[in-house]
Amino acid sequence: MESQSMAHPGSPGWRGPTAQCMAGTKPKVPAPGPELSSVGPEEHSDAHSSLSSNSSMTTRELQEYWRTRKCRWRHVKLLFEIASARIEERRVSKFVMYQIVVIQTGSFDSNKAILERRYSDFEALQKKLLKTFPEEIEDVVFPKKHLMGNFTEEMISERKLALKEYLSLLYAIRCVRRSREFIDFLTRPELKEAFGCLRAGQYTKALDILVHVVPLQEKLTAHCPVMLVPTLCAMLVCHRDLERPAEAFAVGERALQCLQARESHRYYAPLLDAMARLAYTLGKDFVSLQERLEESQLRKPAPRGFTLKELTVQEYLC
């Protein structure tokens, strides 16, 4: 548990035999790691300058760094299909639910995303985008609403094609496909449900949802991997509380790769702390993780913050 005594092995206050031997020596402060906010081959020269000042990176970290950058240089292209539609009747409403299938083109995609949205969800997206990108989407045609005939087979088929075209046109506009509005439309309902399950202690159900939504969120946020961190940390918390430390540690490593050297990020210190505890439990190298946390706190002292679980349960509250 993250609330263990400060003197317990693996806790922030416990240095361990290796750290105790180093007591009295001035800790080496590594140069800041490369930032991941920039994208594209045009920043290749900036990347070289970042690496030249980051000699503390290991060979594995350098390989992972370049692999990440190369993946981001290649634009991930997604194909949208409206696979089916069904009429749903509730006590006071009746509407059509459209099934959206999102597939990555250019290669075999075993992680295609399947989600459902109703016409009012598309309509809400259009209103938000018109506020943020009025000029960029002025030529994008949004399927009009009809007062009559919305539930006929002919109208549903026509709207399926129109909504598919609408999503494809939006995705073709760079600023739109990278916008919070577009990404939220495709991922937020599922993420909100998953984080609600986490808050309720339904960790297995939360994981089932996250496992399906993470591949799509990863593709949509390739330009800014740090956006994936809260979701990965939620998976870590679920695995850890289900007593699956190995799975929790593996997903935590992915989250750390997304964060890189962003020490100011609100998840950085809590994630390192959780990873050090997991490493100790698994018999892995927890000392280096503990040292990274201590060095970060030496550079920028801060009062006690939230634990990783306390942070994750606050996501998607509204």
Residues 95 and 138 occupy one common structural domain:
yes
Q: Which residues are bridge partners to 101 per DSSP? A: 81, 114
CATH code where residue 246 lies:
1.25.40.10
Tell me the H-state helices in the chain.
16-21, 44-52, 59-73, 119-132, 153-171, 174-177, 180-199, 203-220, 229-241, 245-259, 268-282, 287-299, 308-312
- The closest of 72, 109, 70 to 216, measured between CA atoms, is 109
* Structural domains in the chain (count): 2
Query: Are 235 and 295 contained in the same domain?
Result: yes
Residues, the chain, total?
318
Q: State the CATH number of the domain containing residue 88.
A: 3.30.1520.10
Does residue 94 share a domain with residue 169? yes
Report the distance separating Cα 273 and Cα 233, nearest Å: 12
Q: Are 112 and 99 in contact (CB under 8 A)?
A: no
One domain, residues 118 and 211: no
What is the C-alpha separation between 212 and 208, in angstroms, rounded?
A: 7
Query: Taking CA 163 as the corner, what is the angle to CA 115 and CA 130, rounded to the nearest 5 degrees?
Result: 100
Whether 147 and 259 share a structural domain: no
Quote the DSSP letter at residue 204: H
Q: Is residue 128 part of a domain?
A: yes
Among candidate residues 68, 61, 72, 70, the one with its CA nearest the CA of residue 30: 61
pLDDT at res. 79: 94
* Separation in Å, CA 88 to CA 92, 93, 113: 11, 8, 21
pLDDT at residue number 54: 45
In a domain, 237, yes or no: yes
Phi-psi region of 134 (alpha: psi -120 to 50; beta: other; left: phi over 0): alpha
Helix or strand (DSSP H, E) at 89? strand 78-89
Domain end marker among 156, 177, 198: 177
pLDDT in tens, the chain (318 residues): 444 434 444 444 444 433 433 344 434 434 333 333 333 333 333 344 344 444 455 666 666 655 555 554 456 799 999 999 999 988 888 999 999 999 998 766 778 899 999 999 999 999 999 999 999 999 999 998 877 778 899 999 999 999 999 999 999 999 999 999 999 999 999 999 999 999 999 999 999 999 999 999 999 999 999 999 999 999 999 999 999 999 999 999 999 999 988 899 999 999 999 999 999 999 999 999 999 999 988 887 766 789 999 999 999 998
Q: Based on the domain organization, do 172 and 200 belong to the same domain? A: no
**Which single residue is written with the structure tokens 């050090």?**
276
Query: Do 136 and 224 sit in the same domain of this protein?
Result: no
Strand-pair partners of 94: 89
Last residue of a domain, one of 135, 151, 177: 177
Asked if 272 and 292 touch (Cβ cutoff 8 Å), the reply is yes
**Is 54 domain-assigned?**
no
194 and 297, same domain (yes or no): yes
Enclosing domain of residue 83: 78-177
- Based on the fold, state whether residues 191 and 308 are members of the same structural domain: yes
Same-domain check for residues 114 and 212: no
208 plus 130 within the same structural domain: no
- Does residue 53 sit within a domain? no
Domain-ending residue, one of 177, 211, 228 = 177
